[in-house]
């Protein structure tokens, strides 16, 4: 598959300009750490950070003009939410390479250099990611990508989160001509990054830097913690938009297992059990379905299960 990249993007300019879109909402201290980590990149090219405030007042003091690491502060002019904010950032710039970073994550200094070098070595590819390091309650768990190239079939089977977190995304702007912007119709924004990546793999493979290059902070401030109905709606939307997920029984079971667990967390015991049983018929080893059955008994709470899973560096 091809990303439709042009020669001048991949060969002529060894260090093309990069725009980093940071969507933010009510996290001023964490945001400053994110911006500082982007400014500290050892990449020799220009790196512009576009901070997009969504449903919160912008801080003009963050702006930096001139130099190789400028920072622009704008507001989300599209649909409220993460998708609209990221799209506003994309539309505000013209750099040939675009990256995302969440406002509570931190890049390692060599992140961009490694990814741009990888894209230069693979001009037929339009997307690059890296491994991650999960930080949860002062516990650090490195998670190398464990895979050098992701094709659509792999992504349908497994989210491969150690290699596909949105804070690791770097992609060619030319790819958007084929696939379009972030889908702003994803309910609540849950799963929008997975949907974006799935759509991208219709046109290109994804190359990965195995080394963990981004610190991912898991904490109670996450806007998705305990929003179980949002998870159900978002995951159901992804299934509707990408029906070929159903071609892989294990991949379909993974998502339906998440939906089953979410229903159990909402207290919908009967629906959770039905969904979990259907999931296990697809793939008996799907652990989320077994956890959904456990939570549906009322013996263990969803919060307790999520806490245990997160302490191991995993997620539901």
pTM: 0.92
pLDDT in tens, 51-81: 999 999 999 999 999 899 999 999 999 999 9
What pLDDT is attached to residue 226?
59
Burial of 211 (0-12, 13-18, 19+ CB in 10 A): middle
> Which residue(s) pair with 106 in the sheet?
215
pLDDT higher than threshold 90 for residue 260: yes
Span 254-265, mean pLDDT? Answer: 97
Stretch 26-33: mean pLDDT, rounded?
95
- 76 within 8 A of 89, measured Cβ to Cβ: no
Map residue 49 onto helix, strand or coil.
strand
User: What is the pLDDT at residue 302?
Assistant: 92
Higher pLDDT, 302 or 136: 302
* Domains of the chain, first to last: 7-218 (3.90.550.10), 248-311 (no CATH)
Give the long-range contacts of residues 43-47, CB within 8 A, separation 24 or more: 43/15, 43/18, 43/112, 43/113, 43/116, 44/15, 44/113, 45/13, 45/15, 45/16, 45/17, 45/18, 45/116, 46/17, 46/18, 46/70, 46/95, 47/17, 47/18, 47/20, 47/112
pLDDT band per the 50, 70, 90 thresholds, residue 310: confident
Over 50: is that where the pLDDT of 304 sits?
yes
Percent of all residues in the chain with a pLDDT value above 70, rounded to a whole number: 94
> What tokens does 122 get?
């693979």
- For position 219, what pLDDT does the model report? 67
Q: Distance between CA 86 and CA 221 in Å, rounded?
A: 20
284-307 average pLDDT score: 94
């Amino acid at each position: 598959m091809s990303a439709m990249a042009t020669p001048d993007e991949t060969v002529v300019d060894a260090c093309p300009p990069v725009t980093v879109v940071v969507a933010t909402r009510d996290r001023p201290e964490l945001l400053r750490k994110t911006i500082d980590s982007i400014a500290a990149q050892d990449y020799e090219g220009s790196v512009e950070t576009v901070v997009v405030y969504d449903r919160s007042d912008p801080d003009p003091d963050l702006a930096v003009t001139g130099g190789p690491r400028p920072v622009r502060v704008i507001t989300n002019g599209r649909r409220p939410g993460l998708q609209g904010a990221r799209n506003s950032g994309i539309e505000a710039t013209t750099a040939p390479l675009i990256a995302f970073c969440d406002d509570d994550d931190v890049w390692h200094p060599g992140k961009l250099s490694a990814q741009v070098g990888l894209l230069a070595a693979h001009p037929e590819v339009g997307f690059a990611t890296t491994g991650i390091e999960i930080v949860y309650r002062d516990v650090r768990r490195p998670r190398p990508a464990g895979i050098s190239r992701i094709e659509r079939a792999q992504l349908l089977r497994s989210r491969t989160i150690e290699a596909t977190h949105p804070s690791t995304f770097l992609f060619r702007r030319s790819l958007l001509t084929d696939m379009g912007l972030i889908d702003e119709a994803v309910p609540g924004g849950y799963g929008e990054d997975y949907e974006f990546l799935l759509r991208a793999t219709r046109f290109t493979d994804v190359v990965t830097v195995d080394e963990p290059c981004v610190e991912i902070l898991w904490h109670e401030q996450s806007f998705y913690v305990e929003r179980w109905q949002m998870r159900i709606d978002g995951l159901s939307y992804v299934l509707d938009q990408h029906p070929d997920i159903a071609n892989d029984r294990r991949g379909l079971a993974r998502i339906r297992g998440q939906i089953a667990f979410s229903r159990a967390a909402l207290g919908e015991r009967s629906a959770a059990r039905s969904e979990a049983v259907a999931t296990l018929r697809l793939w008996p080893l799907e652990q989320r379905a077994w956890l959904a059955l456990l939570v549906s008994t009322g013996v263990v709470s969803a919060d307790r299960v999520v806490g245990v899973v997160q302490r191991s560096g995993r997620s539901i």
